[in-house]
Structure 1
Amino acid sequence: MAIRSNPRVLSFRYAFRGIGLMLRDEFNARIHAVATLVVLAGGLACDFGRTDWIAITLAVTIVWCAEAFNTALEALCDAVTMDHRPEIERAKDIAAGAVLLAAIGAIAVALLTFGRHLLPLVHGT
């Protein structure tokens, strides 16, 4: 069986293509990418332990998943119609709200994990 026709290989190819499309086309995804890099660099600088890395990884992953689902839903809705439809507007708003909730949760995780490491520096202890 050729690699190109292997369903497992193709599924990964499609998934990576989707991530690439999201990063290319969605400004908010690029903001998430920068935030992810900043958080990873900060975690390395703070010498995070296992628990901190687990919390940060989960928070970042949840934000990325919410953004991906939001982007997919928007694309699907736009493919159905570009006309203003209240039910489509509602679906898009709810999906955007999910991204906001995920981002707020990620900020809370960042404050809790980084705060523990940075607070002693602020207080000089």
Structure 2
Amino acid sequence: MNDFLKEPTCWAVVSPDWSRCVDELQLAARDISERSHQIVYFNKNTELCCARDEFVSCVSLAGRACSQAAGALLRRMAWVLAQDVAACNVQPRAHCAAPHPPFPPLAAGSFMVLTGALVHPLRF
């Protein structure tokens, strides 16, 4: 966190992109939730994990507007906030490039709650 605080203007630069990343994550979660009746559980989790991974990458790229260190720090912050989504540690990542599969309402609801926590990250 000290790395990020070294650049006092960094949050002002990164904040709009962070918000865009969160919006994209929320849209993906909503889409997965709306298709949940068409999707098997495994595919739903895979889609959520891919959306989580895309969010982490998006935030990391946004932070690089300040510096590589800021990008790495924001990536770590996003990872901590989103690490428990849909048991992603056991999901194969090769499926992320594939078309999105479906998801259960309970898991989708949990994911939507998580994305709400991501909208307002820690204030520096």
TM-score tier, shorter chain, comes to 0.3 to 0.5
Q: What TM-score, normalized by structure 1, do the two folds share?
A: 0.38
Larger RCO (CA under 8 A, 6+ residues apart)? 2
Rg comparison, structure with higher value: 1
More helix by share: 1
| TM-score where L is the length of structure 2 | 0.38
